[in-house]
Amino acid sequence: MSTPAIALYLGETYATLGLFDMADTSAQRSKPTLKFEKSVFLPQTGLKNLLNQTKIKLEEEFKTAFETVPVYVVTKYFDRLKQFRLGGSISQVISKGFENSYSLKDSKSLSLAASQLIITLDKKSTDTTFLTQELERVKKINPDLNKVVISLTEDEYSATQIEELVQFFTKAGLKIFLCRQAHNQNELRKTLLNAGSEGTKEELIKDFTDVFGENTPVYFFCQNGFQREFENAELFNSANNFFAHYLKKQKMQSCAYFDIENFKFLRSSLSDSWQSPWGPVPLNHYSQTDLSVHPFAELKLNHLSMLGFDSSVNQLEPGPVIAGRAIKPLVLDLFWEELQKTEFCQTLFSSLQQDTLKSKITNILSVLEKGQKNIELFTSADELKKIILVSLLNEIKLFSSDESVRMIGPLAPLFKGLIPDKYISGFSWSQEIMASAAGGKA
C-alpha cells in the first residue's frame, strides 16, 4: 500500500520539493522512497507551478487518488518579510497613552503596526457605538483590513470587557490576535508579528490546498519538529531550527552550509529571545550565523574604482545573471563556471547551459575588471573568487577551533582544492526533511 508525502524546502528565492512514498516495501526499504524531485528558482517559476507539476507526477507514480497528501515544509521564505513594514491590514486596540508602544525606536525603522489604524480606548470603556465608529474609520483608511491585535491589560480592562471586544471584532469579520501582556513590548511585538505574517502563511497554505485539496495537512518545521499548530513568529526560524535538528542527528558540533542564497556557519545555539529586525521577540529558537559574504551581494566597482561586492543585499529579484534575466552581477555569478557543473544549478538555472548567457556573464565580468582605474589596486575576477572563498574559510576557522569543519550544501563543492574532499559533502533538503518527518511527527 503506497502512502505519498511531500517534502518541501521553501527558501527566499528557490524551492526544492520531493515526492516520497512513505510505505514502499518493494525493495524492503526502511526509508521513504523518492519518486520525484525538483528545484525551481522562484522569481521564474512560482510555487504553485511546482505544486501542479508535482500533482501530475503524483498521479503518474501512484496511479490512484488519495484523499490527503501530507506536506512537510521547512522554510526561510518568511525572511522576505524582514525588509518590509508589516501591519498594513491590522488594526491595534490599545489603551490611551500607549499608542504605537510596541517599539520606542526611531519611527523610520521597520514598523509592525500602522499608526493610522490604531483604535485607542479611553475611560476604561468598550462602548459599542465608539467601537463601531472607530472600525468604520480604520476600514475607510484600509478597506482590506482583516485582523485586529487587542493589547489591553487586565488591570484596566476586565476579562469580560476583553471578551466583549473579541466578540465585537469577530462579528465584524476580523481575525483576533490577543496580547495578554500588553505592557511587555517583547510580547506585544510577537503578537503583532503573528498578525503581520498571518497573510503570508495563509497564502502558502492556500497554494497547497488549491492543488492537493482542502484537507491537505501542512506541517511546518518549528522548534520542536513538524507542527500544524504554532505561532506564526516561529516560521521565521524554521530553517535555522531544522539545521539544529540536522546537526544533532549527524552528531556534529558545527558545520558550514552553502546554497545559492545562504552562506552559513551552523552551530545551533538555543536562545529564548529572537533579535528580530523589529526588536527582541520572546521565542525559543536556534540561531545560526550568516557568514559575511552573501551570494546575492552585488559585484561592483566601489567608490575607489576597485572591484568588490556590497556588504548587504538590497533585493533578491531578479536574482543572479546566471538565472537568465538579470543584468547586475552578483557574487554568485563569479562562480558560474563551477556552478554550471553542479546538478543543482543545472536544474535551477537551465539557461546557464546556453552559450549566449555564458558570454553575457564573461562580458559583464570583463567590463568590471577593465573599469578599475588604478593598476596597482587592480583585482581580477579570478582573484576576487579566491579572496571570497579564502575569506569564508577564515571566517569559519574563526568560529570553530575544529580544523575539520564539514562543508555541506549544493555549493559546498566550490571549496574543492582549498580543503580536503573528505570535508565536502552534499545535502538534500528533500531527503533530510522526509527523514525527519518519518522519524517522528509532532
Partner 1 sequence: MNCLSLKYQFKVLTQNFKSCSIVNADGALLYSKDLNHSLLTTTRLVAFQIVKKYLRPQPHDFFILNDPENGGFQYSKLIFITSLTANLFIVWDEDFNNINFKIPPTPLYDKGVKNEFVWKALIGACPFADDLETFILFQKNKIEQMLHLKDVVENLSSVKSQQAWLKATQQIFDIQFNNKAQGGIEAHYKLNAPNQTIKLKFSAEEKQNLKLFTLDLTNTNLATDVYAASHIVESAMVKKIIDFYEINDYFTQSILDKIKIILPPRSIVSKAHPTGLFNLNLQAVCSQLCDHLLTLLNSPTRKAHNAFSFNNFLTFNIKQGAQSYNSHINKSQFLIDGIEQLSNTQKISVKTLKKSDDESHIVFQITCEEPLELSILNSYETDDSSYKIKINSSLKLFGTHTLNKNDLVEFFWSHT
The residues that touch partner 1, with contacts defined as CB under 8 A, are 97-101, 103-107, 115, 183-186, 279-280, 292, 303-304, 306-308, 374, 376-377, 379, 383-384, 387, 390-391, 394-395, 397-401
β 218-222/307-309 pair status: unpaired
- Give the count of beta carbons closer than 10 Å to the beta carbon of residue 11: 23
Closer CB to partner 1, residue 109 or residue 132?
109
Rounded-to-integer distance, Cα 378 and Cα 347, Å: 35
Q: How far is the CB of 192 from partner 1 (least distance, A)?
A: 14
Closer CB to partner 1, residue 303 or residue 341?
303
Side chain identity at 304, as an amino acid letter? Answer: L
Closer CB to partner 1, residue 68 or residue 391?
391
Q: 14: which 3 cell numbers?
A: 528557490
Q: How far is the CB of 110 from partner 1 (least distance, A)?
A: 13
Q: How far is the CB of 296 from partner 1 (least distance, A)?
A: 19
Q: Which helix (H) or strand (E) holds 348?
A: helix 343-348
Q: How far is the CB of 174 from partner 1 (least distance, A)?
A: 24
Closer CB to partner 1, residue 124 or residue 228?
124
Closer CB to partner 1, residue 101 or residue 351?
101
Q: How far is the CB of 303 from partner 1 (least distance, A)?
A: 6
Q: How far is the CB of 98 from partner 1 (least distance, A)?
A: 5
DSSP three-state, residue 326: coil
The answer, yes or no, to whether the previous bond of 318 is cis (omega within 30 of 0) is yes
Rounded-to-integer distance, Cα 238 and Cα 80, Å: 13
Question: Are 150 and 165 a contacting pair, CB within 8 Å?
Answer: yes
Q: Which helix (H) or strand (E) holds 370?
A: helix 355-370
Half-sphere exposure of residue 207: CA atoms within 13 angstroms, side-chain side: 18
Q: How far is the CB of 430 from partner 1 (least distance, A)?
A: 34
Closer CB to partner 1, residue 57 or residue 183?
183
Residue 308 makes CB contacts below 8 A (sequence gap 6+) with 299, 300, 301, 302, 379, 384
Q: How far is the CB of 167 from partner 1 (least distance, A)?
A: 27
The conformational region for residue 158 under phi > 0 = left, psi -120 to 50 = alpha, else beta, is beta
Nearest-5° angle of CA 313, CA 201, CA 168? 125
Closer CB to partner 1, residue 393 or residue 442?
393
For 47-134, where are the E strands, in sequence order?
Answer: 71-75, 90-95, 118-121
Q: How far is the CB of 56 from partner 1 (least distance, A)?
A: 48
Rounded-to-integer distance, Cα 152 and Cα 155, Å: 9
Rounded-to-integer distance, Cα 263 and Cα 246, Å: 16
Q: How far is the CB of 185 from partner 1 (least distance, A)?
A: 5
Closer CB to partner 1, residue 159 or residue 375?
375
Q: Which of 423, 8, 118, 82 is nearest to 254 (CA)?
A: 423
Side chain identity at 330, as an amino acid letter? Answer: L
Provide the 8-state DSSP code for 269.
E
Q: 216: which 3 cell numbers?
A: 491537505
Rounded-to-integer distance, Cα 149 and Cα 152, Å: 10
